[in-house]
Amino acid sequence: MSDSKQEQYPGVVMPKCEPLKILKNQKALVTGANSGIGKAVAIALGEAGADVVVNYRSGEDSAQEVVDKIKQFGSKAIAHQADVSQEDQVGTMFKQMIQEFGTIDILVNNAGLQQDAPFDQMTLQQWNTVINVNLTGQFLCAREAVREFKRRGVVSEVSNAAGKIICMSSVHEVIPWAGHVNYAASKGGVMLMMKSIAQEVGPYRIRVNSIAPGAIRTPINTEAWSTPEAYDSLMQLVPYKRIGEPEDIGRAAVWLASDLSDYVNGTSLFVDGGMTLYPGFATGG
Ligand code: NAD
């Protein structure tokens, strides 16, 4: 975090210890990896030793920056342009990944967007766009990953599991969100999709989990943190009294992708500073 951010919003000190190469020899694909949370996750997986495909829909330069950063850790990385809501583009992306890297061990289904509107003004296009990217996009990528995990099975020198899928959900998989009905519906859908896939493919030693972030400082929600007034108002919702940084999610993803979490399957890991703890009840109720 830069000094200026520290001054404005004190209280964030990231651990400085050397990261373990706990994902060495693993191949990861992170969708929407040229911005925000996906970028931090891709870099954290690369730092932990994984080779990474950096998916992006637009913004080749920013995807290339992520690739360059991952290569500095000695891991391989390639950028791949694809819209996760398009079945043919997802199929091509997985084929190319398997050609380049041989297989996939870790999928991080991160790509997502918001198109907000009051409910009675929400267009079908806004509804469909959010569902198509946030939910159907995760289905399409997870299906390709599971096909490869089942084909290859467990390689015990690489991981105890045949594969790991991490779905980027949100606290809005459980917290209703007025004005964002399409987004909350997509994340609620991700929750039961994740759990149902986990139940179905667990016997193949495939682990499927979600990370449910709270308020993380990224371009998706700039208006919620970019002024001191907005930040103070946001903090009413966060018992831990700081905004999350994308790196907070990166570290959670490394753990969920690694054998350190080998018995964790079908769970949503809330990384939210306590946003789901009904903060209004700290003083009310
Ligand atoms: P962001 O806007 O910085 O990143 C979103 C990424 O998804 C971008 O790289 C974008 O290009 C990509 N993307 C969008 N549509 C795509 C498509 N069709 N195909 C491929 N890529 C596509 O936002 P972020 O905050 O980093 O969001 C990442 C994920 O985290 C999303 O799923 C979001 O719902 C979730 N999330 C974010 C927060 C938060 O506070 N920032 C909280 C909870 C959940």
Instruction: Render pLDDT for 75-85 as a digit per residue (tens, 0 to 9).
Output: 999 999 999 99
Residue range 101-136, pLDDT digits in tens: 999 999 999 999 999 999 999 999 999 999 999 999
Tell me if 67 is assigned to some domain: yes
- pLDDT for the residue numbered 12: 63
Domain tally for the chain? 1
Tell me if 14 is assigned to some domain: no
Residue nearest to atom 6 of ligand 1 (CA): 32
* Pocket flag, ligand 1, residue 57 (CB < 6 Å): yes
Rounded distance between C-alpha atoms, residue 108 and residue 168, angstroms: 7
Name the average pLDDT for the chain. 95
- pLDDT for the residue numbered 6: 41
Residue nearest to atom 10 of ligand 1 (CA): 32
Residue with tokens 């703890």: 277
Mutate which of 37, 57, 66, 237 to test ligand 1's pocket (most atoms within 8 Å of Cβ)?
Answer: 37
* Pocket flag, ligand 1, residue 209 (CB < 6 Å): no
What is the average pLDDT across 233-251? 97
Phi-psi group of 208: left, alpha or beta (phi > 0 → left; psi -120 to 50 → alpha; rest → beta): beta
For the question of residue 231 being annotated catalytic, the response is no
Banded pLDDT at 9 (limits 50, 70, 90): low
- pLDDT for the residue numbered 2: 41
Rounded distance between C-alpha atoms, residue 215 and residue 254, angstroms: 20
Tell me if 60 is assigned to some domain: yes
Tell me if 86 is assigned to some domain: yes
Q: For the chain, what percent of residues have pLDDT higher than 90?
A: 92
Q: Which atom of ligand 1 is nearest to the CA of 217?
A: 41
Tell me if 11 is assigned to some domain: no
Model pTM? Answer: 0.95
* Pocket flag, ligand 1, residue 136 (CB < 6 Å): no
Rounded distance between C-alpha atoms, residue 274 and residue 242, angstroms: 10
Tell me if 229 is assigned to some domain: no
* Pocket flag, ligand 1, residue 36 (CB < 6 Å): yes
- pLDDT for the residue numbered 284: 85
What is the average pLDDT across 254-263? 98
Residue nearest to atom 36 of ligand 1 (CA): 170
Tell me if 51 is assigned to some domain: yes
- Domain containing 76 equals 21-218+244-275+277-281
* Pocket flag, ligand 1, residue 217 (CB < 6 Å): no
- CATH number of the CATH domain containing 162: 3.40.50.720
* Pocket flag, ligand 1, residue 221 (CB < 6 Å): yes
- Is residue 77 within 8 Å of residue 83, measured between CB atoms? no
What is the average pLDDT across 238-266? 98
Rounded distance between C-alpha atoms, residue 234 and residue 27, angstroms: 37
Active site residue: 56, 183, 231, 263, which one? 183
Q: Which atom of ligand 1 is nearest to the CA of 114?
A: 34
For 204, other C-beta atoms within 10 Å of its C-beta total 14
DSSP, residue by residue, the chain: --HHHHHHS-------SPPP-TTTT-EEEETTTTSHHHHHHHHHHHHTT-EEEEEESS-HHHHHHHHHHHHHTT--EEEEE--TT-HHHHHHHHHHHHHHHS--SEEEE---------GGG--HHHHHHHHIIIIIHHHHHHHHHHHHHHHH---TTT-SSSEEEEEE--GGGTS--TT-HHHHHHHHHHHHHHHHHHHHHGGGTEEEEEEEE-SB-SGGGGGGTSSHHHHHHHHTT-TT-S-B-HHHHHHHHHHHHSGGGTT--S-EEEESTTTTS-GGGGT--
According to DSSP, the β-strands at 77-81 and 51-56 are parallel
Tell me if 5 is assigned to some domain: no
- pLDDT for the residue numbered 20: 84
- pLDDT for the residue numbered 219: 93
State the distance from the centre of ligand 1 to the C-alpha of 187, rounded, in angstroms. Answer: 12
* Pocket flag, ligand 1, residue 168 (CB < 6 Å): yes
State the distance from the centre of ligand 1 to the C-alpha of 39, rounded, in angstroms. Answer: 10
pLDDT for residue 215 is more than 70: yes
- pLDDT for the residue numbered 57: 98
State the distance from the centre of ligand 1 to the C-alpha of 84, rounded, in angstroms. Answer: 12
Residue range 10-63, pLDDT digits in tens: 456 666 667 689 999 999 999 999 999 999 999 999 999 999 999 999 999 999
